[in-house]
Amino acid sequence: MDRDILKNVHLFSELSESELEKIYSRCDLKTFGKGEMIFFDTEPYQGFYIVIEGSVKIFKISKDGREHIVHFIHPFNTFAEVPLLEQYEKIRNDEFTYPANAMSLEKDTKLILIRAGVFYDIVEKNKTMCLKMISTLAKRLRHLNVYIENITQDVPKRIARYILTEQIKIISENKDQIELPISKHDLAAYLGTIDETLSRALKKFQDDNVIEVDGKNIKVKDKQALVKIAAG
Amino acid sequence: MDRDILKNVHLFSELSESELEKIYSRCDLKTFGKGEMIFFDTEPYQGFYIVIEGSVKIFKISKDGREHIVHFIHPFNTFAEVPLLEQYEKIRNDEFTYPANAMSLEKDTKLILIRAGVFYDIVEKNKTMCLKMISTLAKRLRHLNVYIENITQDVPKRIARYILTEQIKIISENKDQIELPISKHDLAAYLGTIDETLSRALKKFQDDNVIEVDGKNIKVKDKQALVKIAAG
DNA sequence: GAGGTGGTTTGACTTAGGTCAAATAAGTGA
DNA sequence: TCACTTATTTGACCTAAGTCAAACCACCTC
């Protein structure tokens, strides 16, 4: 791994060369296969991760066995920083587990593990990083707020919202065609539902001529209708 | 208001006298009646609040008009800091609304409003405060995680969990008797359900001899059973 | 091309929990 | 204490979305 990769990580973008070097020399690079578990919510907390390549899902399993995906993490973003930060005041406490499970979604997901001690050393000396951390947390908080807002809505609404916000990314390239970046199973879990319900709802949209589904490809045929459903 | 009140606010607990003075001289004290709105999620962001007396609920209204309470805020805690922090990098941007609604829950809820500018001035010079902010956010994040975990469970489970965690506070005074700190309506909204469903579920618990309900007073008669339901 | 192995879809069935409407109980100010 | 508003409970009913079981499909590998 090239050390300069660390510069792409927003959290580290304003560190000095020597600080980067310090982190680089003390972090672990790990590679995971598709579907491989990165950690369980039962295991002791070691530190947080940065995605370099591939993607990761963060999820919880409810007692009835259903999976609920809370985040997808893409390259240069971090995950599992929260226990670290929450513990800040009782620094270096050992008995702490991860708050959720994490699984690799792609064949060669490359991650960097930053151990708690390394992080504390840096953050204590670096206010900019501290502020960035705050900003990251705030964004995550907002994300969870949206998530909560969504799961209180019905499934078609959640799907419509998902498609519309996904589409925003694509529309900038002038297309009404989007490609799901994840499997339908993961999408269902992310939307807080199950495969069957998602499948049926998509079919209904198709029957109503709102979208056209072909595998992972979705073509929006009636954006107005979709917006209306999403707004509910 | 006494200036020393600010010392009770965890976020400010390690500020110097002069810093406290600066905040004190530049903040607004506001009083709200029960049920009075503090802000709507449509109005421009002004700054964050600190509860001095009384309590506050933070909630969202879904399009079908249902209310979902996300937080209850009690004395010496802050709320609505997130937009402030998220904006940190584009400091002092004006066009921003509150992410949710806030309403006073008691007759004389006293709040302090800290405007964005004041906060930025302080935090930029004070690393401890920065770290505390991180820790606050991290805790809030965890709270939301629990919240999400809960709303994916069925209503009886959510109630059981609520009772058990509420009871923890009381048990320290050796009681199996708890008193709901909020109305049943608010409890229902907090548990992500409606009054009727909450009522029926409580009745069921009572019929099953798990608890005894008398207005806001709940007596736990069979803690084992409750634990079992909560764990489910 | 046969046989796997996930991912996805369909159908038949069940149910938690929502809606609507109305009765009761509690709380509050004059 | 009365009158009136607000909170809580109850009953009858309905529906979104979950379960279970089975079929289908699209890639892979051998």
Cβ neighbours of A131 in B, within 8 Å:
88, 130
Closest CA to B217 of B156, B175, B168, B161: B175
Residues B161 and B141 in one domain: no
CA atoms within 13 A on the CB side of B44: 7
Q: What is the CATH number of the domain that holds A224?
A: 1.10.10.10
**C-alpha distances out from residue A36 to A57, A102, A103, A108, Å:** 11, 9, 6, 10
Instruction: Tell me which of B141, B194, B228 to substitute to probe the interface with A (most A C-beta atoms closer than 10 Å).
Output: B141
Q: What is the DSSP letter of B221?
A: S
Bridge partners (DSSP) listed for residue A220:
A211
pLDDT value of residue A207: 94
* Distance between A88 CA and the closest CA of chain B, angstroms: 7
**B50 token code pair:** 């600190």
Closest CA to B141 of A81, A3, A189, A161: A81
CA of B185 to C1' of C23 (A): 18
End-of-domain residue from the set A101, A128, A151: A151
**Cβ-nearest to B138 among A86, A135, A151:** A86
Residues B73 and B165 in one domain: no
Mean pLDDT of A208-227: 92
Residues A26 and A107 in one domain: yes
Mean pLDDT of B117-123: 77
Q: Which residue of B has its CA nearest to A67?
A: B152
Q: What is the CATH number of the domain that holds A142?
A: 2.60.120.10
pLDDT-based confidence at B91, cuts 50/70/90?
Answer: very low
CA of B146 to C1' of C27 (A): 34
Whether the pLDDT of residue B89 is over 70: the answer is: no
Q: What is the DSSP letter of B191?
A: T
Residues B179 and B73 in one domain: no
Adjacency order of strands within the sheet including A177-179: A177-179, A217-220, A211-214
Beta strand residue intervals within chain B, DSSP E: 28-32, 37-39, 47-53, 56-61, 67-73, 78-79, 101-104, 109-115, 177-179, 211-214, 217-220
Least trusted range by pLDDT, from A1-15, B24-38, B67-81, B205-219: A1-15
Q: Provide the mean pLDDT of chain A.
A: 82
Residues B46 and B74 in one domain: yes
End-of-domain residue from the set B149, B181, B212: B149
CA of B199 to C1' of C26 (A): 16
pLDDT value of residue A63: 67
Domain count, chain A: 2
Residues B168 and B105 in one domain: no
Decide: helix, strand or coil at residue A16.
coil
CB contact (8 A) between residue A138 and residue B64: no
Asked whether the beta carbons of A126 and A12 are under 8 A apart, the reply is: no
Q: Which residue is nearest to nucleotide D25 (CA to C1')?
A: A215
Nearest nt (C1') from B197 Cα: C17
End-of-domain residue from the set B149, B180, B214: B149
Residues A215 and A120 in one domain: no
Percentage of chain B lying above the pLDDT 70 cut: 90
Asked whether the beta carbons of B11 and B130 are under 8 A apart, the reply is: no
Residues B140 and B160 in one domain: no
CB contact (8 A) between residue A131 and residue B131: no
pLDDT-based confidence at B175, cuts 50/70/90?
Answer: low
Q: Which helix (H) or strand (E) holds A59?
A: strand A56-61
CA of A148 to C1' of D12 (A): 32
What are the pLDDT digits (tens) for A43-89?
A: 777 888 998 888 889 988 876 778 888 888 888 888 888 777 776 54
Residues B180 and B103 in one domain: no
Residues B107 and B88 in one domain: yes
pLDDT value of residue B37: 87
Residue B128 lies in domain: 3-149
Residues A199 and A181 in one domain: yes
pLDDT value of residue B219: 92
Adjacency order of strands within the sheet including A28-32: A28-32, A109-115, A47-53, A78-79
Higher pLDDT, A86 or B45: B45
Least trusted range by pLDDT, from A138-147, A172-181, B19-28, B142-151: A172-181
What are the pLDDT digits (tens) for A1-60?
A: 677 888 888 778 777 888 888 888 888 888 888 888 899 888 777 888 998 888 889 988
CB contact (8 A) between residue A68 and residue B231: no
Residues B80 and B45 in one domain: yes
| Burial zone of B209 (CB within 10 Å; 0-12 exposed, 13-18 middle, 19+ buried) | exposed
